[in-house]
Structure 1
């Protein structure tokens, strides 16, 4: 199965100059809990913004650059494995960026979305696709001195 994990603001903003436009430790903890032990799939730009493989997960980077390499990751230059991942009992988590989300959209069955209930300035947006999905789980995030932005953790599944 292929799933998305993404955080966005009220306008579907997911990035600003290669980084997150907010600081929200609760979301990072949610991301870690959701993806730990599973394969994560990302584009090269997302990998480079993280700067290292994420521990405890199989890190797969998709890039058009056939010579791209980095220690601790698997590099793919095509989408030949998508059907295999889609049929797998194992959940593959696509974590960005925008171009990778767009390319994987036809194959995704579930989306874990953190909505930050504010608007930020940035340059990278998640596709406008939520009309084709239904919320199957919703949890309000806790606001405290480290997590000052109101947020909700949503799980979507594709409408049948």
Structure 2
């Protein structure tokens, strides 16, 4: 049985076709949850589209920083704080037929990133756990469907 504070690779959001829709502004199925310097972009998708049998996949975007070292440091703070406060989301999406995809964004200053993330990310996760999230109504892609073409 996995530990409740573990963050295995299967829970990491890596597929572009799952990440890209989170950042499209005109989508109505993406929910935003903001708490201070942290923004969560969320969307429910059919579990089969994640590639793993997990109810939650999470990605981390530290934003543009001056150096790669700062980006790495902010990303580590985001991952660690999420790992410690993920229980509510895991409990809610463990048995559902769909999966929650979450992108965690940090929009604060570099100087106080660690303290701001430890303060704001748990609040954002609590708000997300209490939100009314709808089950996805269709898969992202079907293997038998022809690719969509754009009109010229």
User: TM class, shorter-chain normalised?
Assistant: under 0.3
TM-score (norm 2): 0.26
More strand by share: 1
Structure with greater proportional helix content: 2
